[in-house]
């Protein structure tokens, strides 16, 4: 089989902070395929892409892309490949057309080529009606398409996409996938790095890296097959799914993964035998690629978080958060319209919806970062508008991209967040010590938060948000761009806290995470079009993602 790139004994290290990004990597990328590049954070995915592009110079080893050496023949190579970096590489203050013109000129397309390719691309990406809109005003999904469009100019033979799905809703990701496959059918090779494993499942080939080393290279099915007969759905247990999850984590040592899926728990076993100790119905289900990746990476963390021991929630009413006809109008644009729901004590409440649908606005109104144009939000029966300070003392907030002070050390961040929530003296020190222990931060205490591996950033952000033992947690895309193992660990912490009575409001683009929620509000076009349990939203046999897309399509039909 023809290969598009050959890599032999490749090594790459960084100084400051000292990291071995790629270690003795030998691999051949097949031509004409969609190749997924996956692996935990810090596995070396971005580094590998940059090495292939000649943006980084390897320490040692051999790389050849399309028969060229990326370091010496950079310019020649760049004419034949397309690259979309993590933030899409678009100029936000330029319109769609202007971005496309720029990249067409940079690739020296002739006027005819330009015309022909623009026409094709605008049709291909469905961006035609918006050509004069500024890239900065596009939704995540549209930016992603435009990024891809610009990359495709000049008809590259090899396309490299670095995490194109981060922060983008499932509908847009599905469309992108479709587009990429139609490109492959035209003979273009695609290398796609991602942390969404449901995406990776559909790739022709995947490369799994861990700590700079190659773990697996082949078709995803090869890996998934190994799990046949080891994955089960359990149901009809007496406890709540969360208690049941804790119980099996504690009592069952043959599991490598267990996750909540609506009212059920999905488990992956080390082998085909399953311990009869489990007092529930269970039946085998089809393994997913994610199960296989977790398996090959040594299994998910299977202990419930010790953070539960520290949680102590008192005097919390039954209805913890209440949205009462929340409406937000920016100029002539209605970002949120009459949104109402109650969140009960100890509930995980998910806000789902496409980019730009109004879920961030709703989220911000409830935690007090935006003032509703009309309607009211209550936290613990306190009106968010009348007494914001009081209400805010009871919530923990974890922002998108973790929003830590990146130049401060881990310890300095911990001290700061404990400080602004009024902790002091021994209590403060005690709390910090606990957090360091629970989240295993001790090796990193002196390191700047900005240089932490993504997983540790997430841990630190959660530690900072829960420092003052809040009864309510607001999590805004807390797992965006994070690998599955780290996400499991994160949800272990959240589940532990919820069991002790903490109430959580979360936004996410991971559909499997939506299933962890007790209830979900689906926000679309500024309205809560559906509110209910995950099982209620899904029709039988549907995945959450299918349900998401179906509900939105149904709504679109109705409103027409």
Partner 1 sequence: MKNFISVCNAIWALIVKEFQIIWSDPKNRAMILCPPVLMLAIFAFAATFEVNNISMLIYDKDNSQISRALIDKLSNTPYIKHIHMIDNPAELTEKLDNEKAFVALTIEQNFAKKIYLNESPVVQLISDGRKSNTAQVVSAYITNILASFQYEIEGQSFPEIPVKLVTRNWFNPELNYQWYIVTSFMGVLVTVMMLAITALSVAQEKELGTFDQVLISPLKPFQILIGKTVPAITVAYIDLTLMIIAGHFIFDIPAARGYLMIYSCIFVFLLSIAGIGLFISTICKTQQQAIFGVFFFLAPTFLLSGFITPIENMPMLLQKFSYINPLTYFFRLVRGLFLKNIDNITIWANIWPLLIIAICTLSFASWFFSKKIN
Partner 2 sequence: MRILKALIYKEFLQIIRDPSSVLTALILPFILITIFATAINLDNNTIETGLVIEGDRGQINDIIASFDGTKYVKIYRYDNRKSAQQALVRGDIRALVVIPNNFAQAFAAKTNAAVQIITDASDPNIALFAAAYVQGIISTAQKIILENYGYNTNVGIRIESQSWYNPELKSRYFILPSSIAIIMTLIGILLTALVIAREWERGTMESLLTTKASKLQIISAKYIAYYCLAIISAAFCTFLSIVIFDVPFRGSYLIYFITASLFLFPSLGMGFIISTLTKNQFLSAVAAAMFGFLPAIMLSGGLFEISSMPSAIRSLTNIIPATYFIPIIKNLFMAGNIWPIIIQEGLSLLIYGIIMFVFLHFVTKERLE
Query: Using CB under 8 A, which residues numbered 89 to 148 contact partner 2?
Result: 89-94, 98, 101-103, 105-108, 134
Nearer to partner 2, 150 or 268 (CB): 150
Quick check: 11 and 24 in contact, CB under 8 A? Answer: yes
By the 10 Å C-beta count (0-12 exposed, 13-18 middle, 19+ buried), 505 is classed as buried
9, 26, 60, 79: residue in contact with partner 2 (rule CB under 8 A): 79
Out of partner 1, partner 2, none, what residue 330 binds, judged by CB under 5 to 8 A for its kind, is none
Which of 388, 535, 546, 550 touches partner 1 by CB under 8 A? Answer: 388
Is there binding between residue 368 and partner 1 (CB under 8 A)?
Answer: yes
Q: Which is nearer to partner 2, 58 or 478 (CB)?
A: 58
- Interaction partner, residue 332 (partner 2, partner 1, none; CB < 5-8 Å by kind): none
Query: Whole-number minimum distance, CB 414 to partner 1, in Å?
Result: 11
Q: How far apart are CA 527 and CA 336, in angstroms?
A: 6
Interacting span for partner 1 (CB under 8 A) from 47-55, 146-154, 218-226, 385-393: 385-393
Choosing among partner 2, partner 1, none, which partner's interface includes residue 81 (Cβ < 5 to 8 Å by kind)? partner 2
Q: By C-beta, is 102 or 329 nearer to partner 2?
A: 102
Specify whether the CB–CB gap between 179 and 125 falls below 8 A: yes
CA atoms within 13 A on the CB side of 541: 0
Alpha carbons 379 and 104: distance in angstroms, whole number: 52
- Other CB atoms within 10 Å distance of the CB of residue 253: 9
Q: Is the peptide bond before 238 cis (omega within 30 degrees of 0)?
A: no
Which range, of 263-271, 354-362, 410-418, 482-490, touches partner 1 by CB under 8 A?
Answer: 410-418
Q: Tokens for 99, please give them.
A: 């971005």
Mapped to the 3 state alphabet, what secondary structure does 407-465 carry?
CCEHHHHHHHHHHHCCCCHHHHHHHHHHHHHHCCCHHHCCCEHHHCCHHHHHHHHHHHH
Check binding of 464 to partner 2 (CB under 8 A).
no
| Number of neighbours of residue 464 by Cβ within 10 angstroms | 27
**Site membership for partner 2, residue 59 (CB under 8 A):** no
CA distance 116 to 425: 69
Q: Does 112 bind partner 1 (CB under 8 A)?
A: no
Choose among partner 1, partner 2, none what residue 388 binds, the Cβ cut-off being 5 to 8 Å by kind.
partner 1
Strand ranges of the sheet holding 19-30, from the earlier edge strand across to the other edge = 19-30, 3-14, 60-65
* Per-position x/- string for 4-43, each x denoting binding to partner 2 as judged by CB under 8 A, each - no binding: ----------x-----------------------------
- State the minimum distance, in angstroms, from the CB of residue 106 to partner 2: 4
Q: Rule CB under 8 A: say whether 546 interacts with partner 2.
A: no
Least distance CB 369 / partner 1 (angstroms):
6
Among 217, 369, 382, 555, binds partner 1 (CB under 8 A): 369
429-448 positions binding partner 1, by CB under 8 A: 448
Please tell me whether residue 76 binds partner 1 under the rule CB under 8 A.
no
Which one of partner 2, partner 1, none interacts with residue 105, CB within 5 to 8 A by kind?
partner 2
Q: By three-state DSSP, how is residue 466 classified?
A: helix
Choose one: 49-57, 138-146, 387-395, 540-548; the region binding partner 1 (CB under 8 A).
Answer: 387-395
Closest distance to partner 1 from the beta carbon of 168 (Å):
19
Q: Does residue 78 touch partner 2 according to CB under 8 A?
A: yes
The encoded tokens of residue 529 equal: 């079009």
DSSP characters for 173-208?
A: HHHHHHHHHHHHHTT-EEEEE-S-HHHHTTSSEEEE
Residue 336 CB, shortest distance to partner 1, in Å, is 16
Find the binder of partner 1 among 216, 397, 439, 510 (CB under 8 A).
397
Residue closer to partner 2 (CB basis): 90 or 435: 90
Q: According to the binding rule CB under 8 A, does residue 124 interact with partner 1?
A: no
Question: Token match 């918006």: residue?
Answer: 130
Q: Which does 528 bind (CB under 5 to 8 A by kind): partner 1, partner 2, none?
A: none
Give Cβ neighbours of residue 253 (< 8 Å, ≥ 6 apart): none
Around Cβ 64, how many Cβ atoms within 10 Å? 18
Nearest distance, CB of residue 367 and partner 1, angstroms = 6
Angle at which helices 425-438 and 454-466 cross, to 10°: 150
Residues 477-516 vs partner 2: string with x where CB under 8 A?
----------------------------------------
Handedness of CA 383, 384, 390, 392 (dihedral sign): positive
Within a 10 A sphere around the Cβ of 234, how many other Cβ atoms?
A: 22
Q: Select 22 or 423, whichever has its Cβ closest to partner 1.
A: 423
Which CA distances in Å does 430 have to 82, 156, 439, 497, 537?
52, 57, 14, 19, 43
Neighbours of 304 (CB within 10 A): 18
Least Å distance, CB 94 to partner 2, is 6
- By the 8 A CB rule, do 232 and 266 touch? yes
Task: Give yes or no for residue 20 binding partner 1 (CB under 8 A).
Answer: no
Q: Which is nearer to partner 1, 52 or 367 (CB)?
A: 367
Among 423, 441, 462, 504, binds partner 1 (CB under 8 A): 423
User: Is residue 405 within the footprint of partner 2 (CB under 8 A)?
Assistant: no
Query: To the nearest 10°, the Cα dihedral for 152, 154, 157, 163?
Result: -30
Question: Which residues lie near partner 1 (CB under 8 A)?
Answer: 367-369, 371, 385, 388-390, 392-393, 395, 397, 399-401, 403-409, 412, 415-424, 448
Question: Which residues lie near partner 2 (CB under 8 A)?
Answer: 14, 50, 53-57, 75, 78-79, 81, 83-94, 98, 101-103, 105-108, 134, 150
């Amino acid at each position: 089989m023809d290969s598009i790139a050959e890599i032999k004994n490749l090594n790459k290290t960084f100084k400051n902070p000292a990291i071995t990004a790629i270690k003795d990597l030998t691999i051949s990328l097949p031509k004409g395929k969609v190749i997924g590049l996956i692996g935990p954070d810090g596995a070396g995915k971005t580094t590998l892409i940059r090495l292939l592009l000649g943006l980084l110079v390897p320490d040692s080893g051999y790389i050849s892309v399309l028969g060229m050496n990326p370091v010496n023949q950079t310019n020649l190579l760049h004419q034949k490949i397309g690259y979309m970096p993590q933030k899409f590489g678009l100029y936000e203050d330029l319109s769609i057309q202007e971005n496309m013109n720029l990249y067409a000129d940079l690739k020296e397309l002739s006027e005819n080529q330009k015309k022909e390719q623009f026409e094709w691309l605008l049709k291909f990406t469905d961006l035609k009606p918006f050509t004069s809109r500024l890239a900065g005003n596009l939704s995540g999904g549209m930016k992603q398409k435009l990024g891809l469009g610009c990359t495709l100019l000049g008809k590259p033979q090899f396309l490299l996409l670095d995490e194109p799905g981060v922060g983008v809703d499932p509908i847009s990701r599905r469309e992108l996938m479709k587009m990429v496959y139609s490109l492959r059918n035209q003979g273009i090779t695609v290398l796609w790095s991602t942390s969404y494993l449901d995406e990776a499942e559909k790739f022709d080939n995947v490369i799994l890296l861990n700590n700079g080393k190659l773990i697996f290279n082949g078709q995803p099915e090869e890996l998934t097959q190994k799990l046949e007969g080891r994955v089960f759905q359990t149901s009809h247990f007496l406890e709540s799914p969360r208690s049941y999850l804790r119980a099996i984590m504690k009592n069952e040592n043959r599991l490598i993964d267990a996750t909540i899926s609506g009212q059920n728990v999905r488990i992956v076993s080390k082998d085909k035998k399953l311990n009869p100790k489990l007092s529930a119905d269970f039946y085998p289900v089809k393994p997913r690629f994610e199960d296989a990746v977790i398996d090959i990476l040594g299994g998910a963390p299977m202990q419930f978080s010790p953070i539960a021991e520290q949680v102590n929630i008192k005097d919390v009413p039954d209805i913890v958060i209440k949205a009462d006809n929340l409406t937000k109008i920016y100029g002539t644009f209605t970002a949120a319209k009459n949104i109402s729901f109650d969140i009960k004590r100890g509930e995980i409440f998910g806000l789902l919806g496409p980019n730009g649908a109004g879920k961030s606005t709703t989220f911000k109104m409830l935690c007090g970062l935006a003032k509703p144009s009309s309607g009211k939000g209550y936290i613990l029966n306190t009106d968010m508008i009348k007494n914001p300070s009081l209400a805010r003392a009871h919530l923990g907030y974890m922002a998108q991209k973790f929003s830590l002070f990146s130049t401060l050390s881990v310890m300095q961040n911990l001290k700061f967040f404990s400080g602004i929530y009024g902790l002091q003296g021994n209590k403060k020190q005690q709390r910090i010590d606990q957090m360091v222990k629970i989240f295993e931060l001790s090796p990193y205490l002196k390191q700047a938060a900005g240089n932490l591996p993504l997983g540790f950033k997430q841990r630190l952000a959660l530690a900072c948000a829960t420092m003052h033992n809040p009864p309510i947690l607001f999590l805004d895309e807390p797992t965006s761009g994070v690998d599955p193992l780290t996400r499991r660990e994160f949800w272990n912490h959240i589940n532990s806290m919820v069991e002790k009575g903490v109430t959580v409001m979360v936004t996410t683009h991971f559909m499997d995470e939506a299933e962890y929620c007790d209830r979900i509000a689906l926000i679309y076009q500024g309205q809560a079009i559906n509110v209910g349990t995950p099982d209620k939203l899904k029709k039988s046999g549907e995945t959450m993602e299918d349900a998401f897309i179906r509900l939105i399509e149904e709504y679109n039909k109705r409103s027409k």
